[in-house]
């Protein structure tokens, strides 16, 4: 178990992380997301003991660090996985994994689990990016850390490989029973592989919650926009029901919002139909996504909403269409 309370971190006179509170449960994967420069890597470096903290404390089972009581990285039992793999080029895969390891037999488990058997005697230069990252993860887990910090481990890999490797990393962490904090730029990665997601802005946590809650009931508009396509439509909220120009839906008032609100719409909440009568909007752009199309529709009131439709529905900019709300789950509504 790792817990961080009221943690602040400065670079000189510049405070880049303020009043951070979080706990990492046993066997939990916590994803940290946020725009570039919001302090994600800085938090990982402070947890690893690579940079000093200015306020607050970090508590692990075996140690406690504060501004006045630093604990060196080697005493923290922390494993780190970086985007650039950080392997020793002159050592083989096996030697990299076993580096400074007393019991080499532990390495075999991770070599097998991460599919590295055939590369055991190879040098890193002959491996692909995905294989190198598996070696880096195997090395980290073979050292049996108390927790693992992953700093954008997939950002140097192509899309197809990313998708496969993110599940392999999650499975390996779960197999090891080691909790992890995983920094990513990728909202889809955060929502799909994390047990919880922490959204950061300007060095401050905006929300830490399950992926479902962060996505469906974001605590503010920043979180709503950061975690996927979001549009807002004006409405009136009373007794859990929001009335809008394109339909009435169950809604939940964020911060007890009532009356005039902006209702958060995800593309899957908006139903688009092509019809010759009763149209209420005009398509302004369409993005082909493979199995689906993402369409932006301008309503008569000027509001733009997005809708995701099947690839079978061929829609063009300029088409007049009918959009409505089709959700049975409550949508988040913000005071306007």
Nearer to ligand ATP among residue 39 and residue 56 (C-beta): 39
**Stretch of 36-44, 91-99, 123-131, 138-146 contacting ligand ATP, by CB under 6 A:** 36-44
Give the span between the Cα atoms of 69 and 122, in whole angstroms: 42
Q: How far is the CB of 185 from ligand ATP (least distance, A)?
A: 6
Structure tokens at 319: 């088409």
List the one residue from 40, 132, 293, 308 that touches ligand ATP (CB under 6 A): 40
List the one residue from 41, 184, 303, 306 that touches ligand ATP (CB under 6 A): 41
Can you name the residues that pair with 299 across neighbouring β-strands?
A: 281
**Stretch of 32-40, 55-63, 101-109, 122-130 contacting ligand ATP, by CB under 6 A:** 32-40
Nearer to ligand ATP among residue 226 and residue 232 (C-beta): 226
DSSP secondary structure, 86-149, as one string? ---TTS-HHHHHHTT-S-THHHHHHHHHTT-GGGTT--GGGS-HHHHHHHHHHHHHHT--SEEE
38 binds ligand ATP (CB under 6 A): yes
Radius of gyration of the chain (CA): 24
11 binds ligand ATP (CB under 6 A): yes
H-state helical runs in the chain: 40-48, 93-98, 105-113, 129-142, 159-176, 187-193, 211-216, 221-226
Q: How far is the CB of 71 from ligand ATP (least distance, A)?
A: 20
List the one residue from 2, 4, 30, 39 that touches ligand ATP (CB under 6 A): 39
Q: How far is the CB of 13 from ligand ATP (least distance, A)?
A: 10
> In what order do the strands lie in the sheet containing 204-209?
78-82, 147-151, 180-183, 29-33, 196-201, 204-209
Q: Are 250 and 327 in contact (CB under 8 A)?
A: yes
Give the span between the Cα atoms of 113 and 99, in whole angstroms: 18
- Please work out the total of residues on this chain that contact ligand ATP, with binding judged by CB under 6 A: 11
Give the span between the Cα atoms of 245 and 324, in whole angstroms: 9
Q: How far is the CB of 211 from ligand ATP (least distance, A)?
A: 19
313 binds ligand ATP (CB under 6 A): no
From the list 8, 28, 12, the residue with the least C-alpha distance to 182 is 28
**Stretch of 30-38, 113-121, 245-253, 273-281 contacting ligand ATP, by CB under 6 A:** 30-38
**Stretch of 37-45, 130-138, 161-169, 248-256 contacting ligand ATP, by CB under 6 A:** 37-45
**Stretch of 38-46, 99-107, 212-220, 318-326 contacting ligand ATP, by CB under 6 A:** 38-46
Interface of this chain with ligand ATP, residues 89 to 148, rule: CB under 6 A: none
83 binds ligand ATP (CB under 6 A): no
DSSP secondary structure, 316-335, as one string? -TT-EEEEEE--SSPEEEEE
Interface of this chain with ligand ATP, residues 140 to 199, rule: CB under 6 A: 185
List the one residue from 16, 161, 299, 315 that touches ligand ATP (CB under 6 A): 16
From the list 243, 214, 222, 303, the residue with the least C-alpha distance to 251 is 243
From the list 270, 243, 237, 269, the residue with the least C-alpha distance to 255 is 237
List the one residue from 25, 37, 72, 259 that touches ligand ATP (CB under 6 A): 37
53 binds ligand ATP (CB under 6 A): no
Q: Which residues of the chain form contacts with ligand ATP (CB under 6 A)?
A: 11, 16, 34, 36-42, 185
């Amino acid at each position: 178990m790792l817990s961080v309370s009221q943690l602040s971190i400065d670079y000189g006179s510049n405070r880049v992380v303020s009043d951070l509170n979080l706990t990492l449960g046993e066997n939990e994967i916590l994803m940290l997301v946020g725009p570039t420069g919001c302090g994600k890597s800085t938090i990982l470096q402070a947890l690893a003991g690579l940079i000093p903290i200015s306020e607050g404390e970090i508590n692990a089972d075996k140690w406690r660090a504060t501004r006045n009581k630093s604990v060196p990285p080697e005493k923290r039992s922390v494993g780190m996985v970086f985007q650039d793999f950080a392997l020793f080029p002159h050592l083989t895969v096996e030697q990299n994994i076993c580096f400074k390891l007393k019991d080499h037999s532990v390495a075999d488990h991770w070599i097998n689990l991460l599919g590295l058997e055939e590369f055991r005697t190879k040098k890193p230069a002959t491996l692909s990016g995905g294989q190198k990252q598996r070696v880096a993860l195997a090395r980290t887990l073979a050292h049996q850390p108390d927790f693992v910090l992953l700093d954008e481990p997939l950002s140097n890999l192509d899309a197809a490989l990313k998708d496969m490797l993110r599940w392999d990393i999650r499975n390996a962490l779960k197999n090891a029973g080691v909790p992890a904090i995983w920094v990513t730029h990728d909202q889809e990665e955060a929502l799909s592989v994390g047990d919880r997601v922490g959204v950061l802005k300007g060095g401050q946590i905006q929300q830490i919650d399950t992926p479902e809650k962060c996505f469906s009931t974001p605590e503010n508009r920043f979180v709503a926009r950061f975690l996927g396509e979001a549009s807002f439509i004006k409405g009136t909220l009373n007794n859990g029901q929001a009335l809008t120009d394109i339909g009435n839906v169950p809604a939940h008032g964020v911060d007890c919002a009532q009356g005039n609100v902006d209702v958060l719409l995800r593309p899957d909440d908006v139903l688009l139909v092509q019809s010759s009568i009763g149209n209420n909007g005009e398509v302004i752009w369409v993005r082909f996504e493979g199995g689906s199309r993402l369409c932006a529709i301008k309503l008569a009131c000027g509001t733009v909403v997005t809708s995701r439709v099947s690839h079978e529905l061929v829609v063009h900019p300029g088409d007049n269409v009918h959009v409505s709300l089709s959700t049975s789950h409550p949508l988040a509504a913000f005071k306007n």
